[in-house]
A and B are shown apart, each in its own frame.
Chain A
Amino acid sequence: MKPILRFKNVWVTYGDKVVLEKVDLSVNEGAFVSIVGPSGAGKSTFLRLVVGQEQPTRGEIQLDGAPLNAEPGRDRGVVFQRYSVFPHLNAFDNVMFGLECSGSRLRGRLTGARRSEARDAVLAMLETVGLKDAARVFPAQLSGGMQQRLAIAQALIMRPRILLLDEPFGALDPGVRKDMHVLINGLWREHGLTILMVTHDIKEAFHLGSRVIAFDKRRHDPHAPHRYGSTATFDITLDHKNRRQVPPELASLASEDGVSPEPSSPRA
């Protein structure tokens, strides 16, 4: 397995506030990495680094062995918790958007034979995520779950090297969330995707992920809590045996969101 994404001694600081410290990890191609941790532990900052919305203060991030492009780009697809789709485009045009932008630099629109070619790909992708019958519907008329399906389709059609999910199912009802788990798990297996998912829901993290990374502060100064940053304090690759079992070190995260667990065992 070759690493697709690599963090080398990455630090993020704002003034004297340390958010992430000494993050060293690599992600293999085809992995489904769940990222968990209490609120404010830097999991979103971690994802923003990969998306390219933020740059590390120190250290280096590599994608496929080369330094990561410092702004968002086609090699990294993303699905946010909200606002991931364009409200002024219907479902079909939302998925078409990426193809049109890469196909026509000036007008950002495809016509003629290239459009009908793209059209087939878009319809196939809509069918894959179960939105075949909603192609002409605007996002405002889609349910929350359907909007996230659309956001996934929109990202996947560009065949990104890595798919980044920022609490993608956090705003959904439990039943809908279960359907989305089935969908994303199926897509991951069938298309051999590499996925990084930030989630608050530790059961979701263990249910979906092939690897779970927890971010937290390793050290704590009660008089200056901002002086120490978070890092990957827990890192486990799941096989079928330990799958779906939340280990005792992370139990406190499962019971209550935002409560910091005791400093846990170093990375496995």
Chain B
Amino acid sequence: MRRLLNVRPKTGERILIGAAPLLAIGLAYVAVSAAWHSQNPSEKILPPIDAMMDQIRIMAFQRDSQTGTFPLWQDTFASLRRLVFGLSIATATTLLLGLTIGILPLIRAGLSPLVATIAVIPPIAVLPILFIAFGLGETAKIVLIVVGVAPAMTRDLASHVASLPEEQLVKAQTLGASTWQIALRVALPQAMPRLLHALRLSLGPAWVFLISAEAIASDVGLGYRIFLVRRYLAMDIILPYVAWTALLAVMLDVALNTVSRRAFPWAHPSAR
């Protein structure tokens, strides 16, 4: 009898085993929802699938009578815009800070305590300050995402760059490379896959900060809509919105992973 830890599923089996819990939850939902509705047809907490489909049709393909827009797409566009802006700024900041902190001991001595301090401040606690400083518009929401994810990403990238083997840096110097050339041709290319990895891990927190900011002060966005319709117990809108948000997050994650594998094949040896 083989030990349990040596039993490895094949690719097909793995997909099957992975899909099973999701499928089970879906089926359980349908069953429980149907049972509740047979007792109380006006029950709102567990809406049946067709009720949700109706709402998706209304939100996605019918113009809102007051604004003349399609709410789902408008919300999606507004939220993704904030997310992409915030994450882009956070990634650029991380690249600049993480690389210099990682490679230059002088910068590390000067900046790493500051980054470590900022990283331990709970970002949501800063949100009121951001609203006061930047108003209730887009800026505060984008800054919240940046403040929320950039410090952790910076620390991760800096420690990764700092742990590049000393042999590599010495070797580059014996080949005549300057500090700039080592940063550009040794540290930067090796930092990029790690940066994309850190970005993937930051997607989760970034969504949390986005939805929070939208819930508190906004007039459009996925988080805004979810918290708006909560007042009417509109689970037939909330659940599809949550599922849609999850799907967007998964697609972003897969896209980033694909970019990393395509652009930096040497960093994914198992993929070849």
- Residues of chain B in range 174-196 having any CB-CB distance to chain A below 8 Å: 174-178, 180-181, 184-186, 189-190
Residues in B whose Cβ lies below 8 Å from that of A107:
184
Cα-based distance from A141 to B170 in the complex (angstroms): 23
Taking a contact as CB atoms under 8 Å apart, the answer to whether B174 and A73 are in contact is yes
Q: Does A140 contact B (CB under 8 A)?
A: yes
Q: Assess whether B88 is interfacial by the CB under 8 Å rule.
A: no
Are B181 and A51 closer than 8 Å at their CB atoms?
no
Q: Within 8 Å CB of A100, what residues of B?
A: 185
Q: Are B189 and A76 in contact (CB under 8 A)?
A: no
Q: Is the CB of A158 within 8 A of B176?
A: yes
- With a CB–CB cut-off of 8 A, which chain A residues contact B269? 140-141
In the complex, the answer to whether A87 meets B174 with C-beta atoms within 8 Å is no
Kindly state the separation between the CA atoms of A151 and B171 in the bound complex, as whole angstroms. 9
Does any Cβ of A come within 8 Å of B173's Cβ? yes
A158-180 interface code vs B (CB 8 A; 1 in, 0 out): 10100000000000000000000
Among B167, B173, B180, the residue within 8 A (CB) of A84 is B167
Task: Enumerate chain B residues within 8 angstroms of A84, measured Cβ to Cβ.
Answer: 167-168, 171
B113 contacts across to A, CB distance below 8 A: none
On whether the beta carbons of B264 and A88 are closer than 8 Å, the reply is yes
The answer, yes or no, to whether B266 is at the interface (CB within 8 Å) is: yes
Asked whether, in the complex, the Cβ of B167 is within 8 Å of the Cβ of A74, the reply is no
Of the candidates B175, B184, B267, the one whose C-beta lies within 8 Å of that of A88 is B267
Q: Give chain A residues whose Cβ lies under 8 Å from the Cβ of B174.
A: 51, 72-74, 76-78, 155, 158, 160
Q: How far is the CA of A107 from the CA of B185 in the complex (A)?
A: 9
> Which range contains the number of A residues in contact with the other chain?
35 or more
How many residue pairs, one in A and one in B, have C-beta atoms under 8 Å apart?
85
Contact of A83 with B266 in the complex, beta carbons under 8 Å: no
A138 within 8 A of B: yes
Q: List 6 A-B contacts (CB under 8 A).
A: A76-B174, A83-B165, A86-B171, A86-B186, A101-B181, A151-B171
Q: Which B residues between 143 and 188 are near A, CB-CB below 8 angstroms?
A: 165-168, 170-178, 180-181, 184-186
Chain A, range 88-137, C-beta contacts under 8 Å to B: 88-89, 97-98, 100-102, 105-109
A53 to B174 CA separation, bound complex (whole angstroms): 11
Interface centre among B176, B265, B267 (most CB of A within 10 A): B176
Query: Which residues of chain A have C-beta atoms less than 8 A from B267's C-beta?
Result: 88
* Shortest beta-carbon distance from B176 to chain A in Å: 4
A256 at the interface (CB under 8 A from B): no
Q: Mark A25-55, 1 if CB is under 8 A from B, else 0.
A: 0000000000000000000000000011100
Q: Report the separation of the CA atoms of residues A151 and B175 in the bound assembly, to the nearest whole angstrom.
A: 11
**Which residue of B has the minimal Cβ distance to A102?**
B176
